[in-house]
Amino acid sequence: MEHDLQHTFESLSIILEDTNVFNRVVDRVFEELDVDNNQSLDVAEFQGYIETTCKRLGVREVPNHDQVVHVFKHLDLDNDLAVCKDELAVFLHHLFSEQRRACADKLAVRVAVQPPGAGSRKDSPEKKSNLKAERQTSATAGKWGNAVGKALQL
């Protein structure tokens, strides 16, 4: 679990710190989204990508059309009802930065709260609940890390 978080953190760090890698990831994501190859994304393309990605990641509750439109409007920085590659790059940079920060926070908390031999004594119900939440987060981060890893394989 911690290995998955660490892998995700490292993958996101590579993407964010290497402009060439970041641009390749943006290109790859944009190519996947731009189904009609017109160099801009519309709501239908964006929704199709979200639905496909959710299925790949095992997300059962896919965002509805209104939710997708709401997010799309935030991506469409110039309000022209289309998202260009530069607008997608702004979004992906923010998304990857937030995900990397979340991984770093979880990794730091683990180091701080797990003294040597912590697993050898009986855990409290609260600690068991926290560990369960961490396992679920790690599983999600692992799936995200795998998706990022696939994007890096250009």
Q: pLDDT value at position 46?
A: 93
**Residue 50 identity:** I
What is 79-93 written as a DSSP string?
-SSSB-HHHHHHHHH
Res 108: pLDDT: 86
Q: Please, what sign has the CA dihedral across residues 135, 140, 141, 142?
A: positive
- In terms of pTM, does the model score above 0.95? no
In angstroms and rounded to an integer, the radius of gyration of the C-alpha atoms of the chain is 18
Q: pLDDT by residue for the chain (154 residues), tens digit each? A: 678 889 999 999 999 999 999 999 999 999 999 999 999 999 999 999 999 988 999 998 999 999 999 999 999 999 999 999 999 999 999 999 999 999 999 988 665 554 454 444 444 555 544 445 444 444 444 444 444 445 444 4
What is the C-alpha separation between 72 and 154, in angstroms, rounded?
26
| DSSP H or E segment with residue 122 | none
Write the CA distances from 66 to 62, 72, 88, 110, integer angstroms. 12, 10, 19, 37
At CA 146, angle to CA 141 and CA 149, rounded to 5? 125
pLDDT in the model for residue 3: 82
Residue 63 DSSP label: P
Can you give the pLDDT at residue 68? 95
Q: Given this model, what pLDDT does residue 2 score? A: 77
